[in-house]
Structure formats: structure tokens, C-alpha cells
Amino acid sequence: MITQILFEIPAAYEAAVKAGSLVQIGGLLKNAATGQIVAHLQESGLAHSLISTAVAGAASPLKLAADVMNVGSGVYTAVQVTQLKSMIASLQSLQIATLGVSLVGLGVTVAGFIYMHKRFNSLDGRIDKLIASVHTGFESQREAALRAHMSQVKGLVKRAKQAPTLSRPEREYSRIAEDFSEQASHFEGELEFLIKVEGKVNVELFWQLAQVLTLCNSIRIDCRIRTNELRNAREIAESVANDYQMLFDQLTPGSFQASEGEGAVVAKTIRDITDAAATKPYLIEYLRTQRYDGREYLDRLENETQSPLLMLRVL
């Protein structure tokens, strides 16, 4: 396995993106003239640490962005606030208009299982309250089934968080990936149901369920990378990208119970999610062909303390 991983900071590419010689597609930067992939945009563990509190209470992409931009000193240090605003500036300079991509994973999602555990605990509580207060066609049997699956996912996230302490964590990661596949299928079905219910989609419930779905898929891909099953990880990522396209492409700003402005932000965010998912297999294939060690790659990102966002330069 190759251990020298060539990371750079996004600022190295900003001028080329502004000039139009590089274009951003999902988590990729491409040469505008040749179409060649130049770099893959990645979150570091620092990014997850910085945004975890803001994400926990966010009801929608619009509110989430506002929460991140307006974090107070009581939650973050001055250095952390600076780092957050630097991350947002980098996303904007690379022509990523919303925070939707960064919060579900650019390229490969760094599991950051402690962060994921905190995030899921918040989602669990919000969805439970939403189902109880919003008429969505959930009969009692389906409501109970959804709560059961939420509990199962919560347990899986906890297992993923504890897996590194095992003498052979690879086996546990493989089992977790298999179990998350089943959970992702369930929540995809719930989203399909919510979208098909007569009338406009409740934007808050949609966003919470979408976060659980993307969390499930992100961790299952992450676990496969950690076990160096990169061919399988790429195949899963391709399947996830196709599923998101089928699920989300039908949605427009007018599909949601929201103001015109918020509906537009939600629609843009799910397009970002779909684009990021479509580019994820390219990154995984690059990791495989360069013979990077998957676990070391993710550990390197998680242990980054200086930059919330990094670029993996393509040789």
C-alpha cells in the first residue's frame, strides 16, 4: 500500500475555478478543457467537529446555513469560528452554493463516528416529534416500524464508534456495512412514501429522513473503505448515486411545504447531494488504483487539525 497521500488546501485551486479553467462537479474539480479530474474535495475531521453542534438542531438547509454562520462564542472559540467561516468561504469560492454537500460528505464521507453518533441522537428526537405532530399518512404500525429502525440505526452507529477498540475491527466493519444496507433501504422507502403522499412534502420531515438515509449510506461506504474492500465500496457508491437520482430528481422548489426561497434552497441542496454521490465512485476508484490504504486514508482526514476542507490531488 502507498502511504504518501497528497492533500492540498482548497485555496490552491480557487483562482483557477474563478477563472473557469477548473470546474466543480459534486466533489470533483475537473480541467474545463480536457475533462480530466484534477482533485477531489474532502472534509476533514476538523470540519465535522466544527459543525456538529450546528447540525444537531438544524431543521432545514436554510436554517442550517444560518446557524453555522451565526455560531456564538459560547459554543465555539474564536479560532473555531474563523475556521468555520473559512470553510464556508472555500465552498462558495469553489462554486458550491449551499452547505448541503459538506454536511453529507464530499467525495467519501469521513465517518467521524463520534460526530455521527451525536448527529443521529438529534435526528432521532426530531423525527419522533415530527411524526407525532405532522399529518404524513403514517399509520400506527408504520410509525412503530420507523421508530424501531431508528433504534437499530442508533445501535449501529454506536457499534461503529466502538469498532476501533477491537483487535480485528475489519470483521465488525463488514457486519455494520451489511446491516446499514438494510437500514438505508428502509429509509429510502419512507422517503419515497413521503414524496408520493398527496399534496406538498413537509420540508422538515423530508430533511430529517434524508439526513438519516445519507448517514446510513455514508457509513456503509466508509466501513467498506476501512476494510479496503474498495471495489465493493465503489459498487455501493454507484448504486447509492443511482438511487438518489431516482428519488430526488423529481423534486422541484414547488414540491415542498415551504416559502419559495426555502423551497429553492432545499431543491438546490438535494441536487448537491445527488451530484456529490455521483462523484463518490470516482474518488474510490482513484484510491484503489493508487493502492492507498483505505483505513489510513480516512484516519489521515479524521486527524487533520488545521484545515476543515482538503483537496486530494490527482497524480
Q: What is the pLDDT of residue 169?
A: 94
Grid cell digits, residue 311: 483537496
**Cell numbers for 67:** 446557524
SS3 state of residue 2? strand
Domain boundaries, the chain: 7-313
Q: Which three cell numbers stand for residue 301?
A: 482526514
pLDDT of residue 94 exceeding 60, the answer is yes
Query: 218 versus 112: which is more confidently predicted?
Result: 218
Find, among 37, 21, 77, 24, the residue nearest to 53 by Cα.
Answer: 77
pLDDT tens readout for residues 54-71 = 555 454 545 555 555 555
Q: Tell me the mean pLDDT in the region 8-22.
A: 87
* Residue 26 and residue 279 in contact, taking contact as beta carbons nearer than 8 Å: yes
Q: Which residues pair with 201 in a beta bridge?
A: 256
Instruction: Choose among 71, 65, 67, 70: nearest CA to 98.
Output: 65
Query: pTM of the entire structure?
Result: 0.84
Could you report the per-residue pLDDT of 140-190, keeping only the tens digit for each? Answer: 777 788 888 988 998 998 899 899 999 999 999 999 999 999 999 999 999
> Does the structure show a pLDDT above 70 at 81?
no
- What is the per-residue pLDDT for 74? 46
At 268 the pLDDT is 80
CB within 8 Å of 241: residues ≥ 6 apart:
274, 277, 278, 280, 281
**For residues 296 and 101, what is the distance between their CA atoms, to the nearest angstrom?**
23
User: How confident is the model over 249-293, as pLDDT tens digits?
Assistant: 999 999 998 888 888 878 888 888 888 889 899 999 999 999 999
Comparing 79-83, 104-108, 205-209, 284-288, which segment has the lowest mean pLDDT?
104-108
- State the average pLDDT over residues 298-302: 87
